Amino acid sequence: MRTLILLALAGLGAQLVDGSLGMAYGVTSTTLLLALGTGPAAASATVHLAEIGTTLMSGASHWRFGNVDWKVVARIGVPGAIGSFLGATVLSRLSTEVAEPAMSLILLGLGLYVMSRFTFRGLPEGRLGKPLRRRFLTPLA
């Protein structure tokens, strides 16, 4: 029962971050699950299973309300799919002793990128209404 409560609190914390930023659910929840002692493969599987339903419903509502730029979807979808496949393949082949610090470094890098990109610098006002650049979209993928 204690484990279930801790998992629920990790999900709540990750959803609070995601709700305020509009992103970073995976980074936050994976970090919290690793901090709770969950193995890297189990943390990754848990987060991705939770994201299937939430991402599907979020995408469907954005599509329904016409908030989808299909050019951006194409630009971010291909690198994201390739990165997801390669990441899952590499992670499944690593031992737990190697995977845990590697995942922690990746999550730290993603967290620093999100914080620096959106907290310190923000969106450049001169580019509002213009297409997003590849150098901005690719790290997000």
pLDDT higher than threshold 90 for residue 64: yes
Given a cut of 70, whether residue 139 has pLDDT beyond it is no
Tell me the residue length of the chain: 141
What pTM was computed for the model? 0.52
Alpha carbon separation from 122 to 76, 102, 126, 128 (Å, rounded) = 20, 28, 12, 12
What's the number of domains the chain is made of?
A: 1
Q: Give residue 112's pLDDT.
A: 86
Domain of residue 122: give its range: 2-140
pLDDT tens figures, 24-41: 788 888 888 988 888 888
pLDDT at 65: 94
